[in-house]
Every structure is written in C-alpha cells, then in structure tokens.
Amino acid sequence: MMHRRTLLGVLLTVTAPSIAAAQGVQTAILYKNPQCQCCDAYAKVLQRNGIAVTVKETPALAALKREHGVPEPLQGCHTLLIDGYVVEGHVPVTAVKRLLAERPAIKGISLPGMPAGSPGMDGEKTGPFTIYEIGDGAPKVFARE
C-alpha cells in the first residue's frame, strides 16, 4: 500500500506543474500613469481572461517605454510586461495570447494610442485595430482585429 501512495505522490508532483501550465495562467505587470483609469479597466479585461495582473503606478512611464524599446509612434497609455514581452496600449487579449503562444523573436506588440472600443476603452469600435510588432527596424503588422 505504501508503494502505491509513493507512486501516486510522485505522479502528482510531476504532473501538477504541467496542469497549471496547460491552464494558461500568466502573470503580468502593468505600468501606468497614476491618473489613468482606462489602464485599470484594461487590467480587469486581462484578469477576466486568465492573466493575473499587478498594476504599478509610475511617473516615469516614458523612461520605461524607452527602456523596453517602444518607439514613440507605437506608444499607448500603459505598458504591460508579460513573459519576456512588452505589450503596449489596449491590445486585444486574443493578440496577447497569440504572442505568448507563438513566441516570435520580437520585443512585443502595440496598439498605439487609445482607440475607442478597444479593451478597457469606452466607445464604439469603428473598424479593425492594427496591432504592430515592436522590434528592430520598421514596425510590421502583427494582427488586425
């Protein structure tokens, strides 16, 4: 009987991390301007979609964006760091999950500005969002949603 319990314990120890990874729970840090409320709304969207987000207010957001290689034309109102990538602005969750699943050799992705109807932003979506790659060289389209 002891042999079965030991074997069961070993199997649970080995498979438990695999089960957690399969559930896709990610953790992220969202850096935002202290006065911005749409950033908090975006964090809630991510949390509802299985991404555990820690929100950190910082007056040095511009420096953080430069540090992570986000060019000025691709900047949004907040910066999310997740699993080695930077996600800039109100990027739809489907694009974030695609980034994490495909793991391309880029710094991250961006939905520049604060487009109406994007996750965490009020208003009606007026067309597809263009999400750009953040990398070396000219920006390339990562997705249109």
d(CA 109, CA 135): 9
Q: What is the pLDDT of residue 26?
A: 87
What CATH number does residue 42 fall under? 3.40.30
Ranges of residues in the chain with a pLDDT under 70 are: 1-25
Q: What is the pLDDT of residue 126?
A: 84
- Yes or no: say if 89 and 60 are a contact pair by the CB < 8 Å rule: no
Q: What is the pLDDT of residue 9?
A: 41
Q: Give every CB contact of residue 137 below 8 A, 6+ residues apart in sequence.
A: none
Indicate whether 134 belongs to any domain: yes
The DSSP bridge partners found for residue 54 are 29
Helix or strand or coil: residue 41? helix
Indicate whether 138 belongs to any domain: yes
Domain count, the chain: 1
- Shortest CA distance to 143 belongs to which of 84, 82, 102, 83? 102
Q: What is the pLDDT of residue 36?
A: 87
Indicate whether 18 belongs to any domain: no
Indicate whether 1 belongs to any domain: no
Note down the domain range covering 60.
24-144
Indicate whether 16 belongs to any domain: no
